[in-house]
Structure 1
Amino acid sequence: MAHVLPDEVMSAAQAGDPEAFSRIYAALAPAVAGYLQARGAEDPEACVQEVFLTVFSRIGTVRGGYQGLRTLAFSVAHARYVDEVRRRARRPRLAEYDPDTDTRTADSAESLVLGSLAGSEVGQQLQALNPEQREVLLLRVVADLSLEQVADIMGKSTGSIKQMQRRGLLKLKSLVERQEVLV
């Protein structure tokens, strides 16, 4: 369950209170970072900073209290991730790989994320879903957003989000059941 801030914090932030901004950041940033990391953002921490710069610059326009703010934060996070994917597609980085000269010792961000999820093999199972189902489940579970909020973020109807969630969960269930049979 997501941490909920009282409406007074939102009002104080809209009035420019720095402490209110800190409380909002502390409440939302971990979930936003988790969402961006699970999506595979190259630098989730930097992306979180960009998200909150945008959110805080638009805080005066937020309606719906804290839940409206959460929806805005994850909408911005989703948009930043989409922008990153588009930027990567436009400017592919090509480099010749020579294992003899490769001195890297750290795993890639993707390997770290999948490794952190590998305890229950959730990462592999999520990869088995289609991208929209995966996105819906990440926004619903990691970001703890409502169906309506996810629908707003993804630009789809609540009914289609429900259906994608249902199908994604059914697919995950069948993968887990299949894995249990193999064990």
Structure 2
Amino acid sequence: MGRAGARGRARADDGELGLAVTRARGGDEAAFAAVYRQVQPMLLGFLRGLVGDDADDVASDAWHDIVRDLATFRGDGAAFRGWAATIARHRALDHLRRLRSRPRTTPLDPAVPGPVTVPDSAASALENLSTTDALAMIAALPHDQAEAVLLRVMMGLSGPAAAKVLDKRPGAVRTAAHRGLRRLAEQLAAGGDPASAAGDNPGEA
């Protein structure tokens, strides 16, 4: 899937992203296009893990809010990724709430949130999978673990940045990400059946 390696690249590109965001805030359309090109693939990967095939629509809603509020943003490239992820997650939760009001299931049913360092070796195990397969495996994790893994691997956020998006303690998010990645590594070692994660106890923190 290439996203574990993308975490390092995303951080390396944060200086360039931060400069583009600053120019975009000043009305530079080319700079905003550069911001969009860098962040949109990460945002879509994150949202596909939360809302499945509706990710494109939710991402459009998120970018509407990002454009609307861009003038209020202050921070560097890493902060922008966290800010964009927060907005996208809010739009995803709104979307899931709307779906729950209809007779339809969702890719990720919320579980009790809760659940220490994310092992890069476990994340790198996902690199040999296609994005679709990797997202299917992540989506089968307990909800808190799925969100933590998506933010760490797809969005390339640090533990504290992911915790800010989720409004949780950094230690709780690191634990959830660690356990989620461990489950994924175990699945891959066992043959990579996404359904096996769903068989785990979703209440495990």
After TM superposition, is the score higher than 0.5?
Answer: yes
**1:132 — aligned with what?**
144
SS in 2 for 1:148: helix
- Judged with a 3 Å threshold, the aligned counterparts in structure 2 of structure 1 residues 146 and 167 are, in CA distance, closer, same or farther, namely same
1:88 equivalenced with 2:99 (yes/no)? yes
**1:159 — aligned with what?**
171
Paired residues in the alignment total: 159
**1:104 — aligned with what?**
none
Q: Contact 2:65/2:87 (CA < 8 Å) preserved in 1?
A: yes
Q: Within 2, Cα distance between the matches of 1:127 and 1:58?
A: 30
Q: Which amino acid aligns with 1:143?
A: M
**1:60 — aligned with what?**
71
Q: Per-residue displacement from partner, 1:8-66 (whole Å, max 9, x unpaired)? A: 32221111111121111111111111211222344322222211111121112212222
Q: Which amino acid aligns with 1:160?
A: A
**TM-align CA RMSD:** 2.6
1:11 equivalenced with 2:22 (yes/no)? yes
Q: Within 2, Cα distance between the matches of 1:140 and 1:32?
A: 12
Equivalent runs, 1:98-137 vs 2, <5 Å: 117-118=132-133, 122-123=134-135, 125-137=137-149
Q: Contact 1:41/1:81 (CA < 8 Å) preserved in 2?
A: no
SS in 1 for 2:63: helix
Q: Within 2, Cα distance between the matches of 1:151 and 1:116?
A: 24
Identify which of structures 1 and 2 has the higher relative contact order when contacts are C-alpha pairs closer than 8 Å and 6+ apart: 2
Bigger Rg over Cα: 1
TM-score by length of 1: 0.75
Q: Which amino acid aligns with 2:138?
A: L
Q: Which amino acid aligns with 1:132?
A: D
Q: Which amino acid aligns with 1:141?
A: V
**2:80 — aligned with what?**
69
TM-score by length of 2: 0.68
SS in 1 for 2:88: helix
- Percentage identity across aligned positions? 26
Q: Within 1, Cα distance between the matches of 2:39 and 2:56?
A: 13
Q: Contact 1:41/1:84 (CA < 8 Å) preserved in 2?
A: no
Q: Contact 1:14/1:59 (CA < 8 Å) preserved in 2?
A: yes
Q: Within 1, Cα distance between the matches of 2:166 and 2:17?
A: 27
Q: Which amino acid aligns with 1:11?
A: T
**2:184 — aligned with what?**
172
Q: Which amino acid aligns with 1:48?
A: A
